[in-house]
Structure 1
Amino acid sequence: MALVERVPETGPWAQLYGYSRAVAVGPLVLTSACTADVEARPHLKGDAAGQAREAFRTALDAMVHAGAGVSDVVRSRLYVTDPVHADPVGRVHGEFFGVVRPTATVVIVSGLFHPGQIVAVELEGFRAWRDID
């Protein structure tokens, strides 16, 4: 039984920087920071809520691939580039996790990797123990 399972990231940076979209270690599942693809979806530039929705979908998709779901999330970290984005991002967090109510931390950062990105999210959760080939 393998104790570590990696959910691969398909973008070029993952190969260059050597990271996974998510990693499951036993029951624990952790995601990398997830952001909106503002190059492919330029209409999301400046839209904190829209970027948060896309980032949460990406992170939750990785959680599902690792065997966990929305109700298994116990911690979220929300990174925003300006304090004015905290409220719209927090409201989107509530749309996804209002019933689950994981812990949540909002961090104001000076910038994200790509110009136009204003939101990044990380999730942590637990899945049921299972055998992994």
Structure 2
Amino acid sequence: MGNRIFSGGVWEERYGYARAVVAGPWVIVSGCTSTIDGEVRHVGDVRKQALTAFGIALDAVERAGLTRDDVVRTRYYVVDPSHYDEVGAAHAQLFRHVRPVCTGVQVAGLIDPRMLVEIEVEAYRRDEQVPAPRGLPEEPQGEGVR
């Protein structure tokens, strides 16, 4: 079933889940918000909430022995669609050089109305024997699709 990583967050114990699970080469991190020691941080500031949530998720990735460079997928959930750009800017600040796949989703609400964003992260332990794909451009050529 893999190794479990716990952050000590109040929701983990209350709802019976782990912050992250290491399953083979994968590290799959539960949804993270800007809640620390049971308190929502940066109320009203979605960018700071996103950076805090990403920090909690990346801490779990690092505790599993991987780094930000091993992140291959991120997801973020926002209640207000006008927050996509701010969360996207926080994502770019952290992952511009990594370029994981990313999905942004609008949801009806999160568990606490002060929470503006929830983040999920998945990382993959790469086998150093496998060569990187060839023939793909380093940077996107043209406009991306959101």
Q: Which range, TM-score by smaller chain?
A: 0.7 to 0.9
Per the alignment, residue 30 of structure 2 pairs with 32
Per the alignment, residue 117 of structure 2 pairs with 119
The runs of 5 or more residues in structure 2 that have no matched partner are: 128-146
Q: What pairs with 1:1-133 in structure 2 (closer than 5 Å)?
A: 4-37=2-35, 40=39, 44-127=42-125
Q: TM-score, normalised by structure 2?
A: 0.80
Larger radius of gyration: 2
Task: Calculate percent identity across the aligned residue pairs.
Answer: 44
Equivalent-residue separation in structure 2 for 1:22 and 1:103 (angstroms): 19
SS of match in other structure, 2:61: helix
Q: Does the C-alpha gap of structure 1 residues 113 and 41 become closer, same or farther in structure 2, counting only changes over 3 Å?
A: closer
SS of match in other structure, 2:110: coil
Q: Does the C-alpha gap of structure 1 residues 33 and 41 become closer, same or farther in structure 2, counting only changes over 3 Å?
A: closer
Q: CA deviation at 1:40?
A: 3.3
The runs of 5 or more residues in structure 1 that have no matched partner are: none
What letter matches 2:77 in structure 1? Y
Superposition misfits of 4+ residues, deviation over 6 angstroms: none
What letter matches 1:73 in structure 2? V
SS of match in other structure, 1:32: strand
1:44-101 Cα offsets, whole Å, 9 max, x none, are 1111101000000000000101111100000000111111000000000000000000
| RMSD (CA atoms) | 1.7
**Which one has the bigger helix percentage?**
1
Q: CA deviation at 1:128?
A: 5.4
Equivalent-residue separation in structure 1 for 2:63 and 2:49 (angstroms): 21
Equivalent-residue separation in structure 2 for 1:6 and 1:108 (angstroms): 29
Q: TM-score, normalised by structure 1?
A: 0.88
What letter matches 1:7 in structure 2? I
